[in-house]
């Protein structure tokens, strides 16, 4: 199994002879709206797609969506919709998102919440919570996915979430070999963080025995933790050996 970090939450998983594109944000640099208004003059995304995506895209067989409604262009933008439709990519998703995606002309394969079949193994949905406090009812919360395949390391894609009690229990009980974690601490001009904050990143490492792959950094104007900032946090807590922080376009071999 290999994971290539594309940009933000967009990754490509290579496994079982297939390539799976996760949460495709494929727009060109600066063609999407700002997510901060008072302290940012930058339009999103902040960086272009890496060359690695163009080398991989002809091999992509499937897509996997964690959430995509209520304006979440950072997980599925118009360019992503167009590309999935044009290339007739079968897109794995939740029942909640299937009607929304079908209306856009995307061919979906709806996943069961518990122990859905996935290649020669299973995929489970782990509820995600996209912020806390008064912003909570206004957000689209989505899911994470726990993937277990034969003769492959187990993989937990957290999706967009803070650290909840349900996620804590899940990690303690299952101990995924790898966790792809949203370590960018996205935050609007007002309200609580939308993703893991500094304290939650450290706590995640304390409850996980596996390796953690940090993403969701340096591609959107409202993400407050950079790769350099994450590295500093990890050094302060002696956690650098437990984390992998890939650059855009970098491939991590999980086997």
Structure confidence by residue, pLDDT tens digits, 90-130:
999 999 999 999 999 999 999 999 989 999 999 999 999 98
Strand pairing category for 243-244 and 211-215: parallel
Which percentage of the chain shows pLDDT scores above 90? 87
Which pLDDT value is given to residue 135?
78
Instruction: Write out the two tokens for 162.
Output: 């803070």
Cβ(181)–Cβ(128) under 8 Å? Answer: no
How many other CB atoms are found less than 10 A from the CB of residue 54?
A: 10
Residue 181 near residue 196, CB atoms below 8 Å: yes
Q: What domains appear along the chain, each with residue ranges and CATH number?
A: 2-246 (3.60.15.10)
Coil, strand or helix: which one is 18? strand
pLDDT, one tens digit per residue, over 170-226 is 999 999 999 999 999 999 888 899 999 999 999 999 999 999 999 999 999 999 999
How far apart, in Å, are the Cα atoms of 209 and each of 2, 122, 177, 179, 221?
Answer: 20, 21, 7, 10, 32
Digit-coded pLDDT (tens) for 130-159: 888 887 887 777 999 999 999 999 999 999
- pLDDT for 112 equals 94
- Look at residue 193 in the predicted model and tell me its pLDDT: 92
| Residue 4 pLDDT exceeds 90 | yes
Question: With contact defined as beta carbons under 8 Å apart, do 203 and 164 qualify?
Answer: no
Residue-level pLDDT at 51 = 98
pLDDT at 43: 94
Is the pLDDT confidence value at 19 over 90? yes
**Spatial separation of the C-alpha atoms in residues 141 and 123, rounded to whole Å:** 18
């Amino acid at each position: 199994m290999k994971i290539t970090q594309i940009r933000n939450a967009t990754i490509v998983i290579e496994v079982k002879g297939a390539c799976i594109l996760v949460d495709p944000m494929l727009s060109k640099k600066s063609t999407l709206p700002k997510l901060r208004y008072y302290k940012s003059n930058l339009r999103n995304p902040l960086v272009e797609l890496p060359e690695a995506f163009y080398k991989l895209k002809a091999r992509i067989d499937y897509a996997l969506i964690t959430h995509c409604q209520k304006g979440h262009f950072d997980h599925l933008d118009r360019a992503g919709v167009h590309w999935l439709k044009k290339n007739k990519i079968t897109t794995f998703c939740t029942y909640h998102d299937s009607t929304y995606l079908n209306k856009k002309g995307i061919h979906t394969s709806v996943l069961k919440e518990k122990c859905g079949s996935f290649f020669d193994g299973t995929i489970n949905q782990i509820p995600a919570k996209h912020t806390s406090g008064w912003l909570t009812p206004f957000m689209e919360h989505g899911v994470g996915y726990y993937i277990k395949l034969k003769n492959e390391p187990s993989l937990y894609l957290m999706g967009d979430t803070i650290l909840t009690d349900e996620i804590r229990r899940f990690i303690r009980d299952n101990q995924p070999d790898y966790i792809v974690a949203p370590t960018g601490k996205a935050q609007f001009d007002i309200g609580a963080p939308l993703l893991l904050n500094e304290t939650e990143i450290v706590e995640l490492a304390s409850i996980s025995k596996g390796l953690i792959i940090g993403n969701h950094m340096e591609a959107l104007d409202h993400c407050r933790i950079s790769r350099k900032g994450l590295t500093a946090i990890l050094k302060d807590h002696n956690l650098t050996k437990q984390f992998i922080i890939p650059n855009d376009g970098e491939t991590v071999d999980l086997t």
